[in-house]
Copies of this chain bind each other. A is one copy, B any other.
Amino acid sequence: MARADGRTPDRLRPVKITRNWLDNAEGSVLVEFGGTRVLCAATVQDSVPRWRKGSGLGGWVTAEYAMLPRSTNTRSDRESVRGRIGGRTHEISRLIGRSLRACVDTKALGENTILLDCDVLQADGGTRTAAITGAYVALADAIRWMRKRRMTPGDPLIRSVAAVSVGVVNDVPMLDLCYTEDVAADTDMNVVVTGTGDFVEVQSTAEGTPFDRGQLDRLLDLAVAGCAELSELQRQALA
C-alpha cells in the first residue's frame, strides 16, 4: 500500500527550483519534482504574433514543451527527425501556454511576447505540471527583467500559478504521481491552481473505470493542497 518512495498519499516529492540555470535567457529555471527535471527558459521578444499586432489586445505569452529523446526509460525518436510534432507534445504545449497566460495582464505587457521553452531533461511522471510550476518562476524573472528595462506599460504579473498531478492508484487517491504510479492509475488528473486557490485548468481522465463525483472531489482536494505548497515554494524561490 506504500508508495514507491515511501511517501504518504498526500505528500509531494522533494521539489527543487534553481533559478538562472542559463546565462543568457531572460528567465530560466531548472525545476525538479523528484526524478523529473525540466529546464524552463523564458525568452522576451519585442513583437507579437501577426494576428495580434495592433489589435489593442496587447502582448502574448506562449510555450513550447518537448522531451529529450533519452529523458525516458526507453528512448523515443526525436520529433525533429520524424518531421512532425506529436499530439501529446502539442497538447501539453497548449496547456502550459494557457496556464501561464492566466498570470499575465496582456495589456500591461505591451506588444511583447514571452515564450517559455520547457524541455524535459529527465521524465519520472508529472512533467507537464513540473513544467508549469517552473515556467511560472521563469516568467516572473523575465517580467522583472523587462520592468528593469521599462519595456512594459504596466506590471503584467497579476497572479501566480502552480500545477500538480493527482490520481487514483489501487483505489487510493494520491498526490504528485511518479511514473510507475501514473502507469498504474485508474483516474489521472492535472490541476492548475492560482496562488489564491482558484482553478485555471482541471483535466481529468478515466484511464480505466469511469469515476464518480465523490472521487472527483477527493482528487480536487488533494490537488488544491499540493498546489498551495508549490505556490509557497515558488514564493520562496523568487524572494
Contact: B199 with A206, CB < 8 Å?
yes
**Interface hits, A96-133 → B, CB 8 Å:** 98, 102, 115, 117, 119, 121-122, 124
Contact: A117 with B201, CB < 8 Å?
no
The one of B43, B85, B86, B93 that contacts A75, using a Cβ cutoff of 8 Å? B43
Roughly how many angstroms separate A199 CA and B220 CA in the complex, as a whole number?
Answer: 14
Contact: B73 with A119, CB < 8 Å?
no
Q: Who on chain B is nearest to A22 by CB?
A: B122
Whether a CB of chain B sits under 8 angstroms from the CB of A78 is yes
Contact: B198 with A39, CB < 8 Å?
no
**Interface hits, A153-168 → B, CB 8 Å:** 159
With both chains docked as a complex, state the minimum distance between the C-beta of A232 and any C-beta of chain B, in angstroms: 18
With both chains docked as a complex, state the minimum distance between the C-beta of A174 and any C-beta of chain B, in angstroms: 18
Contact: B80 with A91, CB < 8 Å?
no
What size tier do the contact residues of chain A reach?
Answer: 35 or more
Tallying the copies of this chain within the complex gives 6
Whether a CB of chain B sits under 8 angstroms from the CB of A194 is yes
**Interface hits, A204-220 → B, CB 8 Å:** 204-206, 209-213, 216, 220
Chain B residues whose C-beta falls within 8 Å of the C-beta of A91 in the assembled complex: 87, 90-91, 94
Q: Which of A1-9, A11-19, A61-69, A144-152 contacts B (4 or more CB under 8 A)?
A: A61-69
Contact: A203 with B202, CB < 8 Å?
yes
Q: Who on chain B is nearest to A35 by CB?
A: B23
Contact: B205 with A117, CB < 8 Å?
no
Roughly how many angstroms separate A22 CA and B66 CA in the complex, as a whole number?
Answer: 17
Known A-B contacts A39-B121, A115-B75; the reply to A98 vs B199 at CB < 8 A is: no
Roughly how many angstroms separate A120 CA and B189 CA in the complex, as a whole number?
Answer: 28
Whether a CB of chain B sits under 8 angstroms from the CB of A72 is yes
Roughly how many angstroms separate A117 CA and B72 CA in the complex, as a whole number?
Answer: 13
Roughly how many angstroms separate A164 CA and B94 CA in the complex, as a whole number?
Answer: 22
Can you list 12 A-B pairs, Cβ within 8 angstroms, ordered by A?
A24-B73, A41-B68, A43-B69, A43-B75, A64-B69, A83-B84, A102-B206, A199-B206, A201-B204, A202-B204, A203-B203, A203-B204
